[in-house]
Amino acid sequence: MRIIITGGTGLIGRQLAGSLAGDGHEVVVLSRNPSQAAGIPAGVRLERWDAKTSAGWGQLANGAGGIINLAGESLGEGRWTEARKQAMLDSRVNAGKAVVEAIQAAGQKPKVLVQSSAVGYYGPRGSEDVTEDARPGTDFAAKICVDWENSTQAAEAMGVRRPIIRTGIVLSADGGALPRMLMPFKLFAGGKIGSGQQGFPWIHIADEIGAIRFLIDTAAASGPFNLTAPNPPTNAGFTKAIGEAMGRPAAVPAPGFAMKLAFGEMSTVLLDGQRAVPKRLLDLGYTFRFSDPVVALRNILAK
């Protein structure tokens, strides 16, 4: 079937596109700069879009098996100035509107729309287990996730099934947060961040892709799903796991005040957390390949 992926040039999008194409699906990745897109897997087609409208690509939604909406500027790159915060919000809302526009025009609606989000939806939550029925937080990261999710809500009224993926910190050797987290450990200077007691909801890239594909294929899957490994550790527990996997100590903490000075408001991504657990995903029958952080890290480091 035809699968359209927005945000398909990012870490998750590239891996997902390659997985789907490898199984014989027609995969179309939308990009604002197709000529500059790197690392696109074999068999994946690139189409240009403006990330605001369905102009030039919307016809592909007609009869499509599904749309995966991952588009949005990274929250983890650069300080959160007011201009950057607006750009991060606009990129998500505009992409969602473009997807809805394409679905509205389609005579044969796509069967499923997977809408991206993040565990930041819940805001800082301390040590409590957070399932998908928890209310959203009130900080900027939470508000942007709420607007991101709502950007494609209109598709449900058109009969399109819509799973929402609230993703944790994706572990991969090919990008994302992990390579930056490993660097201090390589220098024997790794350790917990801030208090270390904040939840650290992580997921191996293989399970991120596996869970998305599971939600595409499962007719009963709609609404929010936490894409996080079961039993998330604290930040201190996860950094200890990094040390164990690398054979390095985890004894040099990064003080919270230093993180705030270095990153400003963006430091909340590092200093605050939540124990988001994948209750609905497990209830539907998804089996995680990686639920132990040490095992997951060793798998990634061996690549």
Establish if 296 belongs to a structural domain: no
Establish if 60 belongs to a structural domain: yes
CB burial string 257-286: b at 16+ within 10 A, e below = eebbeebeebbbbbbbbbbbbbbbbeebeb
Average pLDDT over residues 290-298: 97
Establish if 115 belongs to a structural domain: yes
Q: Which runs of E-coded beta strand occur in the chain?
A: 2-6, 26-31, 44-48, 66-69, 112-118, 129-130, 163-167, 169-171, 202-204, 223-227, 275-276
Establish if 241 belongs to a structural domain: no
pLDDT single digits (tens) 90-123: 999 999 999 999 999 999 999 999 999 999 999 9
Q: What local confidence, expressed as pLDDT, does residue 260 receive?
A: 62
CB burial string 146-156: b at 16+ within 10 A, e below = eebbebbebbe
The answer to whether the beta carbons of residues 224 and 166 sit under 8 Å apart is yes
Establish if 259 belongs to a structural domain: no
Q: What local confidence, expressed as pLDDT, does residue 128 receive?
A: 85
Establish if 253 belongs to a structural domain: no
Average pLDDT over residues 255-279: 72
Establish if 106 belongs to a structural domain: yes
Q: What local confidence, expressed as pLDDT, does residue 262 receive?
A: 54
Q: What local confidence, expressed as pLDDT, does residue 181 receive?
A: 86
Average pLDDT over residues 120-129: 88
Q: What local confidence, expressed as pLDDT, does residue 193 receive?
A: 84
Rounded Cα distance between 181 and 222, Å, is 33
Regarding pTM above 0.85, the answer is yes
Question: Which position has the higher pLDDT, 292 or 192?
Answer: 292
Q: What local confidence, expressed as pLDDT, does residue 195 receive?
A: 85
Long-range contacts at 52-58 (CB < 8 A, ≥ 24 apart) = 52/94, 52/95, 52/97, 52/98, 53/97, 53/98, 53/101, 54/98, 54/99, 54/101, 54/102, 54/105, 57/4, 57/28, 57/30, 57/102, 58/101, 58/102, 58/105, 58/106
Q: Other C-beta atoms within 10 Å of 206: how many? A: 18
**pLDDT band, very low/low/confident/very high, at 69 (cuts 50, 70, 90):** very high
Give the contacts of 87 (CB within 8 A, at least 6 positions apart).
73
CB burial string 75-93: b at 16+ within 10 A, e below = beeeebeeebbeebbebbb
Average pLDDT over residues 138-146: 94
Establish if 81 belongs to a structural domain: yes
The answer to whether the beta carbons of residues 197 and 235 sit under 8 Å apart is yes
pLDDT single digits (tens) 8-58: 999 999 999 999 999 999 999 999 888 788 888 889 999 999 999 999 999
Range(s) of the domain holding residue 140: 2-168+204-228+276-289
Looking up residue 61, the CATH number of its domain turns out to be: 3.40.50.720
Number of domains into which the chain is organized: 1
pLDDT single digits (tens) 215-261: 999 999 999 999 999 999 999 999 999 999 999 988 888 766 566 65
Average pLDDT over residues 149-161: 98
Q: What local confidence, expressed as pLDDT, does residue 267 receive?
A: 65
Considering the chain, what is the average pLDDT of its residues?
92
